[in-house]
Amino acid sequence: MKKSHYWVGLVFALSIISCGGDSETSITRDGDILIIGDGATELSLDTILSANSLTFSTVQMDSGFYGDELNAGNISTVILCDGEGYEFGMPEQGQQALLDFVANGGRLIFMEWVAYEISEDRYTVLDTIVPVLRSSGREGTETYTVQLFNELTEGLDTTFTVSSGSNIGTARFGTVHIKGSSSGDALVTHTWGQGEVIQMACAGNYEGYNPFAEPNMKKLILNAIMISSLPKK
């Protein structure tokens, strides 16, 4: 598995609120970021994170992720991209490592097509912490409308347009912060164990889309990384 590292000067100091659980080891919010790429979306994220002096490393493709990278440094946030790499799934060992990471206080931010892969019986371990499953999917432009104004949605326009592939679905648990005019529940958060999950309906750079070039989406991914803890409402 090819792995590339990008280390940039400043690490933002963040702190996490404990959300329960009985693990002996907790992860603090002052750590680094691990991007699990899909062969496309990580290119946009690399640019955004570098421009904001965030410290991160990138693993190429979920299909080769077994969780070893979570033990290699002070990782506090994982961003899982699954747009272009949706055919292959993730080894169960890697999925379990992500579950343990969240249970111990980590923050997992993930995009589509994770819900699609669950429907294809490939992400069955991670299913436990995925708020929105798949009803269908779509491509094209839709309008996002902010439902809750808080630290996660701070700085976003009340409504804005996004062009991407998207999951269509309704949250079975968690808090809905943004709704899409076509995708339904487009940004959903959930606390699990001592950690936090943030699910985005967009499929990143799938099929050549570039949703994070849109200023609101760029701000949203930065908020998702940098807020100290998930808003209560």
The predicted pLDDT at position 21 comes to 34
For residue 73, the model assigns a pLDDT of 78
Q: Could you give the dihedral angle defined by the CA atoms of residues 23, 94, 174 and 14, in that order, rounded to the nearest 10 degrees?
A: 60
104 within 8 A of 135, measured Cβ to Cβ: no
How do residues 23-80 score in pLDDT, each as one tens digit? Answer: 333 444 568 999 999 999 999 999 999 999 999 999 999 999 999 999 887 999 999 9
CB of 19 closer than 8 Å to CB of 194: yes
Q: How many CB atoms lie within 10 A of CB 150?
A: 16
> Can you tell me whether residue 15 is helix, strand or coil?
coil
- Please check the confidence at residue 13 and state whether its pLDDT lies above 80: no
Say how far apart CA 132 and CA 137 lie, in whole Å.
12
CB 82 within 8 A of CB 113: yes
Say what the alpha-carbon torsion angle 36, 70, 126, 111 is, to the nearest 10 degrees: -30
* Digit-coded pLDDT (tens) for 77-126: 999 999 998 999 999 999 999 999 999 999 999 999 999 999 999 999 99
Structure tokens at 39: 């062969």
Report DSSP letters for 206-221, one per residue. Answer: GGG--GGGSHHHHHHH
Q: Is the pLDDT of residue 7 over 90?
A: no
164 or 18: whose pLDDT is higher? 164
**pLDDT category, 179, cuts 50, 70, 90?**
very high
Phi-psi region of 216 (alpha: psi -120 to 50; beta: other; left: phi over 0): alpha
Q: Could you tell me which CATH number the domain at 3-226 has? A: 3.40.50.880
What local confidence, expressed as pLDDT, does residue 85 receive? 87
| DSSP alpha helix (H) spans, 92-214 | 92-103, 114-119
Parse the chain into domains and list their residue ranges: 3-226
Identify the three-state secondary structure at position 173.
Answer: coil
Identify the pLDDT of residue 233: 66
Percent of the chain with pLDDT over 90: 81
Q: CA gyration radius for the chain?
A: 16
Confirm if 181 and 142 have CB atoms less than 8 A apart.
yes
Lowest pLDDT segment from 9-13, 128-132, 198-202, 206-210: 9-13
SS3 212: helix
pLDDT score of 8:
34
Q: What is the DSSP string of 127-145?
A: GGG-SB--SEEEEEEEEEE
